[in-house]
Chain A
């Protein structure tokens, strides 16, 4: 028996009501988006070519003057350097730690690599929690943890042992690493959950087959888990890279002088905000924004290129 499909009658489906419906549904979101997102982005590129300073002053076109000045701006180069370092280290540390824990959770059990450890749900729940906290709140939290005297969570035990307190945020040689530590602290849980989900979808037989061939836990990880998880790791790497370029709140809130001491922790986003809303150099700040934009695009392109690798189907 064949099903007879009758075309629905044309009532209510005339092109006029259809067109009106489409326009009606799209108008508000598109309007909001054009006003608040597209227009500002478009203007930013223009403002970057002006010498606009001060809320009431009017902008004057100066072509690439701002970008020329940026080339000799030591603070901005320091900021770029920090973003670059974060771009390498934050994804690397986060992914290595997260892979390690995800593998333990999924294959660290007593039965030798094929079952998760007891209580893996509990660990996952705890590890993920920092992810739901606001970065600004985490920044204030760690400002207290890192306090330089006996009231600091970390320095109190050090001083009790008779050691010198560490200037986690006040020592220019240490402060950047404190920032990196907090960023990794907050990010790891998300990637543990992400990688766990990926690992859970790897068929158990794959592990068992490898074990019958005599693979140890290390070989299981590098021979089975990692290749099959590679897609997810790449996604994580891109996410973390973008996050490393966009670091702001943790630096702005947690460090002395918003990126100090002595510019030792400053990042591009912090310099953009400082120049725009503390110095009111709107043109100059927008030029910095354009540079950040091109860094982001360049990173995305490079990441896509590098990650184009043979995909393993299973």
Chain B
């Protein structure tokens, strides 16, 4: 005799079997389709890594041949002669300072706008958020002259004018503010106020409440938006192209430097070194991404999922 429960499981598994028949061997096809895209994504990148240890003759002889021996000297040439090392240092410097400034000023502004009521609050918020709607290309020309004029400011001018990393950092901060303020003020608004109230009762100052209570409470939002800004500023190409001219190659950032190696390259170009330079730009991203992929995916999609 079959019990009621068994009957149910039997019919369930039967239904599952029927379903599987109707849907066919789609799992296999799914994997095939997914594998095709995996190949499309991975192969160009792996091919670049491969070319970076080939000799010039091997690269031009046949794109798919394996190198006779691994030529790591390509990497050394790219690092020194093609200045990839210098570009990398500049990029790190600019992004670290730029993101730190963005997060500091962005969270301060977002916090005040989200949790304090005062006249003009709404206007300042709208001013920040309206920046999201403007294409940066509209601002390029005036921005160039603004930064040039900043170079004439006494004392600090030499650090924030054209062809300086300081100028680039300030511009990065300013252009990262709209999204940072927009995202973080929404985040600060959702935080409970009880802890802050208690701290005020104990006599804590406004800024102390911000730095020691609210900022730590906003950690998840801060992490997401920091990742967003790090990647955005690391990958920026248009703004450095305008602000750091050809006369200051020692200040150039990585994207600019690598694009220049490839566009300026004539017939006597060092193609193996170009592939090595390209690999050097990709590899750190690959490592960082592999370690932090969950946070990075969350950080980048955070804006869209709100």
Contact = CB atoms under 8 A, between A and B. Distances in A.
A190 B27 contact: no
Interface in A122-138: 123-137
A29 B106 contact: yes
| Interface residue SS majority, chain A | helix
Interface string A247-276: 011001100000000000000110011001
A19 interface: yes
Contact of B177 (A32, A108, A156): A32
B9 interface: no
A119 B27 CA distance: 12
Interface residues of B, number: 108
Nearest to A214: B22
A289 B23 contact: no
B124 interface: yes
Contacts of A30: 109, 124, 127
Interface string B31-61: 1011001101111110110010000000111
Nearest to A280: B141
Contacts of A249: 237-238, 255, 259
Contacts of B174: 32-33, 35-37
A202 interface: no
Interface in B167-223: 170-171, 173-175, 177-178, 181, 197, 200-201, 203-207, 210
A136 B137 contact: no
B74 to A, nearest CB: 14
B203 A43 contact: no
Interface residues of A, number: 112
B163 to A, nearest CB: 14
Contacts of B108: 25-26, 28-29
Contacts of B72: none
Interface of A: 8-9, 11-13, 17-19, 21-22, 24-26, 28-30, 32-33, 35-41, 43-44, 47, 97, 100-101, 104-105, 108-113, 117-119, 123-137, 139-145, 147, 149-153, 155-157, 160, 185, 188-190, 193-194, 197-198, 211-212, 216-217, 232, 235-236, 239, 245-246, 248-249, 252-253, 268-269, 272-273, 276-277, 282, 285-286, 289-290, 292-293, 296-297, 300
Given A140-B258, A285-B141, 9 more contacts: A13-B200, A38-B131, A40-B143, A112-B20, A117-B31, A133-B285, A136-B237, A136-B255, A286-B142
